[in-house]
Amino acid sequence: MVAAKIRKSGDTAWVELPAPVVMTPAVNALDSSKSGRDNNTGAMFRDKIAEKQTYTITFPFGLNNTQVAEILQIVMESSFELWCPNPKTGAYNTKSFYSSAATPDIYRIENESLWYYHEFSLEAVEM
């Protein structure tokens, strides 16, 4: 089974993310500056303006330099599409994301054209 796929925004071809992959989702509510507490009653009030999802995507030991390069060339663009499980809907969905951080941890260098990563993780933030 394919756990998740990515593609550059506007492309039609998907790249399947290598398995195994660990995806840690988070659902974040964005409130306006009008949200807060009523000084007279102490009651909280909320003006929710949006809800965004983020994922920490981690690949365990074993990816090589060409696999990581293919993923980074997509996710470090201005935006990319991610097809993955959505914890809020309980189904797979496609959404646009950007990545501001990727951490490839080089483990073993075989030669100048082949090396392996101990772990590789990236952050995907919904647009």
pTM comes to 0.81
Q: For residue range 68-118, list pLDDT tens digits in order.
A: 999 999 999 999 999 999 999 999 999 999 998 898 889 899 999 999 999
DSSP letter string over 38-96? -TTT--EE--EEEEEEEEEEEE-TT-BHHHHHHHHHHHTSS-EEEEEEETTTTEEEEEE
